[in-house]
Structure 1
């Protein structure tokens, strides 16, 4: 049986620091800070609720990050 891969590392970074930033700038900054997966979502998007280490989610309204959370 193959071993489970190690979970992605999460930067010691607060998602709240991205709220209010331009979505493109926020994504670039998150990647520079070490987030391997950055996901931009429209308000009210239907998404799965599984937690994925190393993923940063943005809810984007009018090109600006309105909400940010891990997983």
Structure 2
């Protein structure tokens, strides 16, 4: 059986700090702070529930981050 990959913990960064930012600015800030993956979604998107360490999710409405969470 193949080994289970290990993932580093996500950067020490509060998701609430991204709410209210323009989506482009939020994505740039996330990259600068070490997030390897950023996912921007429109409100009400249907998404899978798998947790991916190192991913930051943005819900973006009218170009502004309205919600942000890890995984």
TM-score interval, normalised by the smaller of the two chains: over 0.9
Structure 1, unpaired ranges of 5+: none
Q: Which residue of structure 1 lines up, in the alignment, with residue 9 of structure 2?
A: 9
> What does 1:1-71 correspond to in 2, within 5 Å?
1-71=1-71
Query: Which TM-score applies when normalising by structure 1?
Result: 0.94
Structure 2, unpaired ranges of 5+: none
Q: How many pairs are equivalent?
A: 71
Q: Structure 2: how far apart are the matches of 1:8 and 1:52?
A: 11
